[in-house]
Each structure stands twice: as C-alpha cells, then as structure tokens.
Structure 1
Amino acid sequence: MDMQGRETQGMSRERLGRIDRFINEAYIANGKLPCALTQVWRRGELVLNSVLGQADRERQVPLAEDSIFRIYSMTKPITSVAIMMLLEECKIALDDPVSKYIPAWENLGVFTGGFMESFQTRAPARPMQVVDLLRHTSGLTYGFQQNTNVDAAYRRLKLGDIATDGTLDDMIEKLATLPLEFSPGEAWNYSVSTDVLGYLVGKISGMPFETFLKERIFDPLGMVDTAFHVPEDKVSRFCACYAIGALGSKVISPRGPMLQDDPLASTYLKPPSFVSGGGGLVSTAADYMCFARMLLQGGELDGARLLSPKTLALMTANHLPGGVDLPRMSRSMFSEATYEGVGFGLGFATTLTPATTLIPGSAGDFFWGGAASTFFWVDPEEDLIGLFLTQLLPSSAYPVRRQLRTMVYSAITEPGAGAR
C-alpha cells in the first residue's frame, strides 16, 4: 500500500493510525488482552493491518498475521451461508417445518413447569420452521444462559458443548426429549439453533457437514486455514486462549487474564466428535476476510459465487417478526450483539437505526462476534469491512467492539459508493 499522502480509499491515514495506538495502549500494553489483530478493508484495499501482542504469553510467542484463532460464534454466519446455498438449490425452504427433516421433533412441547425428569409442556402455537433456526426464534436455548430449568437440562446433557464426546446426531436425539423455551416465533433467544442447521446441511446435502463447508465454501474462497481442528503442521501458529476469571464470571482476576486453553494441549488438536456449526471453527484473519469480502461483494469472491446478491439481501434484512429490534423480542441472558436499534437476519445481526444504537455505522450493516472477543462487521453502504481477532473469554469483558467501530468510522473522509 502506498504510504504517501494523507488519505487512502477515502480514509484518513492519521486516524487509521490512531486505532493501532489506541488498542496497544488501552488493551495490549496493560495486559487486558493477550493479542489483537485488527484489519479494515475499504474499496478493495486493506487499509489497516495491525498485529499486536502475543499469541502465547506462556511461551513468549508473538502474534503473527497468520496466527490461528478460535472464532467460536463467528462460525454461525458460515453455517448460515451453507444452509442458504441449499435453499438456492430448492433443497430446503425457510418455511419448511423442521420436523420435515427431523421427524422426532414433530411433537416438541413448550415448557410450562417441572424439571428434567418431569417437564410439563403445552403444544406450541405453530411448528418450528427453518427460518426460526436462522434467526434464533426457535425456542431452543444454550445451557450457559442459566435462566430456566430447560437451560439446566442442556447443561446436564452438555448440549452445544464443543468439547463433548457426543455427536451432532446425539444432540438432535437428546433435544427431542426436551421442551422448547417458548413457542417458535414468539421470542428471540441465542441458542444451539445454528448447530441444528449444521445437522440439516449434512442431512440434506448427503455429505458430512464439515465436508460440505470445505468443498463448497472454504476451498472456493481459498480459506486454507479454516477448519474444526488444528492439524499438527499448523500447531505452531495456534493461539493460546485466556479468560478474565472463572468461566461464566465477569469478575476479573487480580493476576490478569488466565490461561484457559493451552494451544499445545487443546481439544482443537484433533477432529472433534461434535462438529459445531454454532461455534467450532478456527480460522485466520486472511481466511475470515475472504469470507467477509464475499459477503460484501454480494456472494462472490474472485470468480467463486456462493450466493446470489438477492439471497444475501434476504439474509441481511431484519427477520424479527413485526420488524422490531432485539430488545422487543429477546429473552436471552447473553448474545454477541448490542441490542437497541439492532435487528436480526438469517445468521447475522443487522443495524436498523444507527441513531438508536448510539454507535457510528450504517443502516443495513451486519455483524457478529465470538465468545473469545472476536468480531467482524460488513458495511455495504461504505464498502467497508472491520475484523478484530483476539483470544479472551468472555466477549463482554471490555467495550473494544464499540470502540473499534467508533474509531474506524471516524477515519472515513469520503462516503462509500452506496452513500453518494
């Protein structure tokens, strides 16, 4: 990139430089984050590429541009793209009842009381549909929500736990024995819904879910380091993962972030039993930027078309019933999105009204993040992508996502093509 001049692709070089300095001073130098890889893509060019901190503090391994990260829930947009590819082939429809593909779920009830061995239920107002899985209105949940007796049953059965010895088939079978939190379409609750989508991809395509992702998404996009485990020849590039305290706690340890997953003794070093479309992938900045660029460009990258622009427009529209934002529908104790002024599409959160979010952005930008504080967003109006990778649990520890968006948008000096 030509470093002469004061601007690049309609962005101030000096203000882009502030981002690197801010993250270093606010998070890396004081040890709050172990590392930070920040990239900004605008108008076909990587205008910021900041690599800070250590991939492995214990072994003093510096972060590198090709370091491999656990992306956790940033797996969800990839799985959602996979199911929409099958939709384009008319192998599935958004209003299909899920029981069409999982007959054992035909009579799922809605929780009214009781405990795991004696749940009391009522019939749902309508059957769960495929669209409910994509937008998290299915009535399913996550065990870590710690909100209801149904959540407790998920924890006991380790449903959605990427370290479980069970399989996708096992999860589907166990979910058939549990009630829904609410009638499908009545509320929004972050859940194992996207793991169920991974199961459907495998069942409908006739190939293992992980094979579909590799052959239909990763290989065409050149995502050479994205997978459900880290092979032996790439372990030296695998980051350590840290936590600010005991998992599930927001209390910061006085010793600073504690090692949560040693890259040389991680469960990620072998193929998992449970292939999680909701949170199981590892990836690199280069790989995920390829995926994000495909989204920005309407479903195509370098001649490889995964989706039609119209399908992607459908995915990034707000699909919450009545067009409301998340606070009007959410029962979730946790998600990877801020709420006010934000809706939810088919695999992504989407900004409805930037003024309501109180964060700079554009109506129609879409985004998601992962449990280890990773984050990305795509803004078609500004022809822009932001990508932030680190390895610190939980993602709610620090407001770095809000701060990054603020600083990126403050660096814009010319509006994008969609805004002119």
Structure 2
Amino acid sequence: MKVSRFSANVGQAINKVNQYAIDKKHIVGSVVMVAKEGQIIYQQASGYADKEQKSTMQVDSQFLLSSVTKPIVSAAALCLAEKGLLKLDSPVTNYLPYFTPKLENGQQPVITLHHLLTHSAGLKYRFCEPHGEGIYNTLQISDGFDQIATDLDENLHRLSKAPLLFAPGTNWCYSLALDVLGGVLTAVTQQPLEEIIKTTITIPLNMANTGFTIPDNNQLVTHYYNALPEPLPMPSPYFMQLDESWNNGIVSYDPKRIFNPKAYHSGGAGMVGTAPDFMQFLLSLTSINNDLSSNKLMDTMAKCYISSEYGTKGPGWGFGYGGAVLDDPILAQTPQSKGTIQWGGVYGHNWFYDPQQELAVVILTNTAIEGMLGRYPVKIRDAIYHCLA
C-alpha cells in the first residue's frame, strides 16, 4: 500500500477512535502521531488539555512523561558507551561504589549496567508492593514520580538497603533500575542528569519542549484519573489502588512534583515532554548516522535481551533497552510484527515502533491509566494495522 493512501485511511480510522473514546469519557484528551517509513503521516490533538477550563488539547501540549522517560535515558547511556565513557557490562559499583544491595541470604552479587537497562537487576518499584506494605515503603523509597521529595543519592542509598528479589540476570522485574542508571550517568560525567540528557539527546534533536523542568512556554496539561461517570482531575498526591494483575499495589502520583526543586530528576519517570518531540526521538533511533549516533540505535534497543518466557508486557513479550520487545505476535495476540518495541507511561501514555513495517506510533493522553493499559491504545493500534491490511 502506498504511504499516501495509508495516510488518508489511517487518519479517518484514528479520528473515529479518538471521538469514541472522548464521547464515552474513557479519556479527556490525547495527542496521537503516526510515522511510516520515517515520515509523519498523522498527528492530531483531541479533547481537552483541561476540561474544567475548556482548554483544548494542542499537538504541542506538554505531558508528564512518566516511563516514556526510560527510552530517552537508555539511549543517552548507549551514546555515552559509544564515546567510551562507560561499559554496559561493567559493575554498577565501578561508578556508584555505595550501591551494594544484597540478596536475602546476605550475598552481594554483581549488578551491571546491562542488568539495569533490562530490569534484570533484582530491583522493583514501591508500587509493586501489595497494599503499599513492604520494605520499599518502610524505607520510603521514591518511585520517581511521587510526593517523596529527596535527592537522588539519598534515594539510591535507601534502595541499596532493600534486599534484591533475585540474583541479577536470573529473572525480570520492572523497577527503579533506570533511576540507578541516571545516577551512573551523573557519576560518569560529573553533570546533573538534566544536562546529560540535554547535551546527548534533546539539543541534538531540537527537542525544545522535553526535559526535567517545565519549559518557559508552559503548556502542561491537567492530568486526570479514571473514574465513573467520567475522569477526574488528579490531586497532588493521588493514590491509585491497582488490581491483582498488578499485585494489588498502590501507585503514588504527584502531578506537582515537576515543580518541586527538592525532588530528584528520575531517570525512569521524571521528564516532561510533547508528542512531536518524542516522535522525533523515536525516528532518530531508526536511522544510521543520525544526530545522536553513527549507529542505528534501534537495532541495539529493540533486541530481545530478556526472554519472552517472562511475559514482560504479557505473553509473547520479552524486553530490550527502553521497552518490551515482541517475540511471538500470535501468543501476544497482536497485529504488530516480531521485533516491535513498545512501552508506556503511568500517566496515560503508549508508544511503539514496528521495524518490519517501519511504523512508529506515539499516544500521549492526560488520563491514567486508560491511556497506557486501557481499551484506547489497543483500538488505536488495531485501527492502524487494519489500514495496513
């Protein structure tokens, strides 16, 4: 199918999904972008950035990115590794001598940067603890997007006191590993993480609306949480009770954290940004001799380092650097191609890149948790692939 025909079809299909989701009050607002063969073929803002103020969503509206931060920080680590400033198979203690978490039996295993990038270090998130009860909660370890205001070194010292879930490299658990990686990058360069990301990622790619602080042209959306009969504005803080599939954990949000100078810059969840900026970033990863690297970084990031037997995003999904990697589309029940890399953000985001189709999709919403795990991103995905059929 020609790109021009696909572009026309996919625009109509996504518009219908957007309108349905807003009419049914599944989401408040969103920005969706689609690129095919390196060219943006669809970008559309829908709904409200702030429903109470009747402020409509704009394509360049800014969102709290939460875990959409992770691929950006992962790519920065790869860029520094290319320059010889760090090695991915090196122990974390080479850079952070104090970061020495132990196993339950008291042994202190070696954690490498590769373990951090793939979430196979034996760490976890505080929201993984059922009913908010556990050692992470006792130690007051910040998940990087909550109301706990502490500096990075203090948070990593607290994290180092918590026992590892498993020996590094023997299992998988979504975790604060990228926050630790942020500490490594800071130690290696002797620069704040914000400056590292500027010099390695956002300035080269002209991502002027993405960073760890709100840009001068503040266009931050109001974030909402799903409720009946319609989503409600998210207070600071806000505690979301998760179901059994999330171990009955509690996600602790603080939409005002971005304005708190005492809150550290989280390498796993701390950035603010826009859909056009993130699409620019995604596309840069897919080409050789891009503005970030002489290599095609997507080839490194979208490898299935963690076996799909761990079901990182569900059956059929393993894990790479920055996101889950699709190993078995049939088992995963998805139209996406094998090798697709995908992840999201707990404030209500979803993105993926399908290398076989040369298809990049960015979905940023201001509605948690529908925009990440609800019907909406699945319907966007299915509408796009239906147009490819």
TM-score (norm 1): 0.82
Q: Secondary structure at the match of 1:220?
A: coil
How far apart in 2 are the matches of 1:14 and 1:86? 41
CA contact (8 A) 1:9 1:43 kept: no
Structure 1 residues without counterparts, runs of 5 or longer? 1-5, 112-120, 245-252, 331-336, 414-420
- Identity, % of aligned pairs? 26
Corresponding letter in the other structure for 2:280: C
**Equivalent residue in structure 1 for 2:117, among 134, 149, 152:** 134
> Does the CA-based 8 Å contact 1:217-1:306 persist in structure 2?
no
CA contact (8 A) 1:229 1:272 kept: no
Q: After superposing the two structures, state which structure 1 stretch, 348-357 or 184-193, moved more.
A: 348-357
Pair 1:53 & 2:53 matched: no
Q: Distance in 2 between matches of 1:363 and 1:142?
A: 28
CA distance in 2, matches of 1:54, 1:299: 38
SS of 2:181 mapped into structure 1: helix
The reply on whether 1:369 has 2:344 as its aligned counterpart is: yes
Cα drift, residue 145 of structure 1: 0.5
State the distance in 1 between where 2:276 and 2:116 align: 29
- Tell me the alpha carbon deviations over residues 263-317 of structure 1, each in whole angstroms, 9 at most, x when there is no partner: xx833235452100100111111111110111122472xxx233512x5422211
Structure 1 residue 273 corresponds to structure 2 residue 263? yes
Q: Deviations over 1:23-47 (max 9, x none)?
A: 211x101222010211111123221
What residue in structure 1 maps to residue 96 of structure 2? 102
1:148 Cα shift?
A: 9.8
RMSD: 2.3
Q: Deviations over 1:301-338 (max 9, x none)?
A: xxx233512x5422211111xxx20xx336xxxxxx63
The one-letter code sitting in structure 2 at the alignment partner of 1:45 is Q
Query: What secondary structure sits across from 2:40 in the alignment?
Result: strand
Aligned to 1:386: 361
CA distance in 2, matches of 1:192, 1:307: 29
* Unpaired runs of at least 5, structure 2: 237-254
> 365-374 or 271-280, which moves further after superposition?
271-280
Which residue number in structure 1 is paired with residue 285 of structure 2? 295
Among 293, 301, 326, the alignment partner of 1:351 is 326
Q: Which residue of 1 aligns with 2:61?
A: 67
Q: Distance in 2 between matches of 1:272 and 1:71?
A: 19
Counterparts of 2:354 and 2:61, CA distance in 1:
25
Q: Which residue of 2 aligns with 1:401?
A: 377
Equivalent residue in structure 2 for 1:194, among 167, 178, 191: 178
Whole-angstrom CA distance in 1 between matches of 2:382 and 2:317: 16
> Once the two structures are superposed, what CA deviation does each residue of 1:230-266 show, in whole Å capped at 9, x if it has no partner?
14x423x21000112xxxxxxxx3342111158xx83
1:82 aligns with 2:69: no
Determine which of 297, 301, 305 is the counterpart of 1:315: 301
| Moved >4 Å (runs of 4+) | none
User: Contact conserved, 1:299 with 1:307, CA < 8 A, in 2?
Assistant: yes
CA contact under 8 A between 2:141 and 2:159: conserved in structure 1? no
1:256 aligns with 2:239: no
- 1:148–1:255 CA distance, 2 compared to 1 (3 A): closer
Does residue 329 (structure 1) correspond to residue 310 (structure 2)? The answer is yes
Q: Number of matched residues?
A: 368
Which residue is 1:306 aligned to? Answer: 293
CA distance in 2, matches of 1:128, 1:9: 48
Rounded Cα–Cα distance in structure 2 between residues aligned with 1:294 and 1:54: 29
Q: Which residue of 2 aligns with 1:20?
A: 15
Q: TM-score, normalised by structure 2?
A: 0.88
Deviation at 1:91, TM superposition (A): 2.1
Partner of 2:222: 240
Aligned to 1:170: 154
**1:155 aligned to which of 113, 127, 137:** 137
Alpha carbons 2:96, 2:187 under 8 Å: kept? no
2:250 matched to which residue of 1?
none
1:353 Cα deviation (Å)? 2.0
SS of alignment partner, residue 322 of structure 2: coil
Residue identity opposite 1:317 in structure 2: K
In structure 1, C-alpha distance between the alignment counterparts of 2:231 and 2:19, rounded to whole Å: 16
